[in-house]
Structure 1
């Protein structure tokens, strides 16, 4: 085990490298820009979708409130009361 660690350390110090081989260069720069553009487009799409979901939820709430108001109005009419609270039933 110790020999393996010693071999790894000595092997890494013996190798000479060309700085041009270990830098990202133009290809790395272009790929980084492409990844940044892809992430930006995904974030914009996500924001658009979240906004759409929120608007749909608001519309559903409004429709539900209108439906409940209409049901309450119909229930009031069925009881013989008008919307203003008066009695529409004939007297006598």
Structure 2
């Protein structure tokens, strides 16, 4: 804690006078119009890149949602197809079994 007080006491004034070399003014050492244009260009480029990234991410998300919907429909159709095929087979089997039972009964019947 003691060191903190020493560091605060030893810090220089935040606005020192006479920091520029002799013969220079503040507008001569500022970035000027070229610095402003370069910064504006970087900002605009960043905004365009962010907008493009958001579009691409949205497209990927929508494609994923569509693909999931297609897979769900395909799975549902596959299950429906299995159910109808299963019902058809069991109905066919029961009809076939009834036919076999009837044939077996006629074979057993006395002539």
- Give me the whole-angstrom Cα distance separating, in 2, the residues matched to 1:73 and 1:32: 61
Structure of greater relative contact order (alpha carbons < 8 Å, 6+ residues apart)? 1
1:89 is matched with 91
Structure 2 alignment gaps of length 5 or more: 1-18, 99-111
How far does residue 78 in structure 1 lie from its aligned partner after superposition?
Answer: 1.8
Deviation at 1:32, TM superposition (A): 1.0
C-alpha distance in 2, partners of 1:63/1:80? 25
RMSD: 2.4
Rate the CA distance shift 1:73–1:14 in 2: closer, same or farther, 3 A. Answer: closer
Q: Structure 2: how far apart are the matches of 1:78 and 1:14?
A: 90
1:66 is aligned to 2:73: yes
1:49 aligns with 2:51: no
Structure 1 residues 89 and 15, CA gap change in structure 2 (3 angstroms): same
User: Which structure would you say has the larger Rg?
Assistant: 2
CA offset at residue 89 of structure 1?
2.1
Residue aligned with 2:87, SS: coil
Gaps of 5+ in 1: 1-12, 82-87
Aligned counterparts of 2:63 and 2:20: Cα–Cα separation in 1: 65
Count of aligned pairs between the two proteins:
76
User: Cα distance, 1:14 vs. partner?
Assistant: 8.7
